[in-house]
Amino acid sequence: MNNWKYILALPALGLFFIMYYYYVNKEELWTDRVFSEWFEGNLIIGVFDFFANPPTVTVVSLVLVLYLWIFKKNYRGMLFVLASVGGGSVLNQLLKTLIERERPELEGQLLSFSFPSGHSMAGIIYLLTLAYFLTEYMYERKKQVLIWSAALLLALLIGLSRVAEIHHYGSDVVAGWSIGYVWFALVMWWYEYRERQFKKHRPSST
C-alpha cells in the first residue's frame, strides 16, 4: 500500500476539525449552503441512501468476513473488517453524542444527532474496506483503479443522498467522509503493520 493513502488521513482530519470549528462558532458553512442548493430534493441521488443503510452495510461486511475466512484464511483481515466497520459505527455514535448537533428542520425527521453523518462515514469506511480486500491480491493496475474509483464514487453519492433527503447538512456529510477516511486509514495502518511483522518473524522454509 502506497504511503500516500496514509498521508491523506492528515488533511482529512484537518477537514473534519474545520467543519467542527465552523459549526461550534455558528458561522455559515459554504458546504451547507452549496450542498443544499445543488442537491436538496434530488430524487435520483436520494436513491443511493440505500447503499449505506445499516442492513446493507451489515450484510456486505459479513459476506466479506466469510470470504476472508473461507477462501483466504485471512483471520487478521477479518479483524480489519470488524474493526473498521464496527469500530467506525461506535466512533460515529460517540461523536454525535459529544457534539449534539440537531438535524435540519423537517417534519418526521430522525431523532438522532446530525454531526457527523453516519451514512457518509459508514459508506466510505465499508466501501474502502471492500475495495482494499478486492484489490489486495490484484496486480492489474487498471482494475485496481477502477475498483477504488467506484468505491469512492459510491461513497460520494451516499453522502450527497443524505442532503438530498434533507437528513443532514453538507458539513455533516463532509465531516462523515473525512473522519471515516481517517478511521479507515488507522485500521489499514494497523493491518499492514501486523502483516509486515508476521512476514518478518515467519520461519523460512528450507
Q: What is the pLDDT of residues 54-102, one digit of tens each?
A: 999 999 999 999 999 999 999 999 999 999 999 999 999 999 999 988 8
- Residue 204 domain-assigned? no
* Confidence check: pLDDT of 187 > 80: yes
Q: Name the pTM for this structure.
A: 0.91
Whether residue 167 lies in the annotated active site: no
Residue found by looking up cell 425527521 in the block: 109
pLDDT at residue 39, as a whole number = 92
pLDDT at residue 26, as a whole number = 76
In the chain, % helix, strand, coil (3-state, to 5) comes to 75, 0, 25
* Confidence check: pLDDT of 107 > 90: no
Q: Which of 190, 159, 160, 189 is nearest to 176 (CA)?
A: 159
Residue 161 exposure: Cα atoms within 13 Å on the Cβ side: 22
pLDDT at residue 98, as a whole number = 94
- Residue 202 domain-assigned? no
Domain count, the chain: 1
Q: Express each pLDDT in 132-143 by its tens digit.
A: 999 988 889 999
Query: What is the C-alpha to C-alpha distance for residues 52 and 127, in angstroms, rounded to an integer?
Result: 9
Whether residue 119 lies in the annotated active site: yes
pLDDT at residue 2, as a whole number = 65
Determine which one of 96, 101, 103, 119 is catalytic: 119
Q: Express each pLDDT in 2-44 by its tens digit.
A: 688 899 999 999 999 999 998 888 777 788 888 888 998 899 9
Determine which one of 168, 169, 170, 187 is catalytic: 168
pLDDT at residue 205, as a whole number = 46
- Residue 205 domain-assigned? no
Distances (CA, A) of 101 to 14, 26, 69, 90, 180: 19, 11, 39, 17, 18
- Residue 167 domain-assigned? yes
pLDDT at residue 204, as a whole number = 55
Query: What is the C-alpha to C-alpha distance for residues 92 and 90, in angstroms, rounded to an integer?
Result: 5
Domain coverage including residue 152:
4-197
DSSP character at residue 48: G
- Residue 154 domain-assigned? yes
pLDDT at residue 83, as a whole number = 97
pLDDT at residue 206, as a whole number = 42
